[in-house]
Amino acid sequence: MSLVVVGSFGLDTVETPFGRREEVLGGSAIYFSLASSLFTQVKLAGNVGQDFPESAWTALKQRGADLSGIQVFKDQPTFRWSGRYQGDMNEAETLKTELNVLAEPPTVPDDYRGADFVFLANMGPDTQLEMLQQLDGGMVYADTMNLWIDIQRDNLIRLLQKLDGLVLNDSEARQLTGESNLIKAGDALLRMGPGVVIVKKGEHGAFLFERGFHFALPAYPTTKVTDPTGAGDSFAGGFLGALAETGNSTPDNLRRAMAYGTVAASLTVEQFSTAGLEGATRADLDHRYQQLRDFVRFEA
């Protein structure tokens, strides 16, 4: 099944209790793609500057990714983000954000249209609505963040009515619905339109909500959390990649996809930037998937 992702590709400067890395790979779509490409061919769309390193594409090219939707700007630099993690590292302190090429909408190649699965990574809901219309995908999931809930709520509500699935974290779910209880928040989000809602809870795992079906998984029990950047996007990539591999959203396939998303995120957090996913193989994911199944004893 075909899978398209539209989102950001960037360069991050990250500081955690385990060190500091400058100008390393980042952006929602790069993490998503590295995870999903372990399951199926992924087609990428987004903007970069000429300063974006060519080496960033090596692992994706080896996995057969389609990069024809990457637009290189000669007159603008690549998106940059700088952040710091402290304490339990569940949330980053953003130090600087430079949108640069992200000020321009992505360009979608004609052969991306009508894809079986589409993921609209974290962008303004106005851009996500535009991409949704252009892509006309079979099953469309999207991510969002607290900024868009604050400044583009109306567009976000319009988007939710058109989505098959929504991925967001627990604080965003509470903010968007006004519900402090996550179960009530998940049900409220379903009433806003999406058929599936996934609420991420960081080190505490994730909830999946579907009408008539709820499912929860803990995080993979890793003892090494070096850099949490991109964990949520890696989760989404593992989840959508696994769904695209099976081709449909039965309860069993949703449970399976949740588990693969969880183990993809675990590989990400163990190393800085994208190193954990770039060096991963499908066998690595399958091994952790089986360990997680044994740990929580679920069938999928």
Look at residue 202 in the predicted model and tell me its pLDDT. 85
Q: At 212, is the pLDDT very low, low, confident or very high (cuts 50, 70, 90)?
A: confident
Query: Cα 117 vs. chain centroid, distance in angstroms?
Result: 14
The size of the chain, in residues, is 300
Edge-to-edge strand list for the sheet holding 19-26: 19-26, 10-16, 79-84, 93-98
pLDDT digits (tens, 9 = 90+) for 30-57: 999 999 999 999 999 999 999 999 999 9
The CATH class for the domain spanning 3-296 reads alpha beta
Edge-to-edge strand list for the sheet holding 206-210: 66-73, 42-49, 3-6, 117-120, 139-143, 165-169, 196-200, 206-210, 213-217
Q: Which residues of 34-49 are buried (b: 16+ CB within 10 A; e: fewer)?
A: bbbbbbbebbbbbbbb
Provide mean pLDDT across the span 67-94: 94
Out of 64-73, 141-150, 158-167, 235-244, pick the least confident.
141-150
C-alpha closest to that of 131 among 100, 115, 107: 107
pLDDT digits (tens, 9 = 90+) for 164-209: 999 999 999 999 999 999 999 999 999 999 999 999 998 889 999 9
Q: At 298, is the pLDDT very low, low, confident or very high (cuts 50, 70, 90)?
A: low
User: What does the alpha-carbon distance between residue 65 and residue 80 come to, in Å, rounded to a whole number?
Assistant: 23
User: What does the alpha-carbon distance between residue 225 and residue 268 come to, in Å, rounded to a whole number?
Assistant: 9
Residues 247, 43: contact at Cβ < 8 Å? no
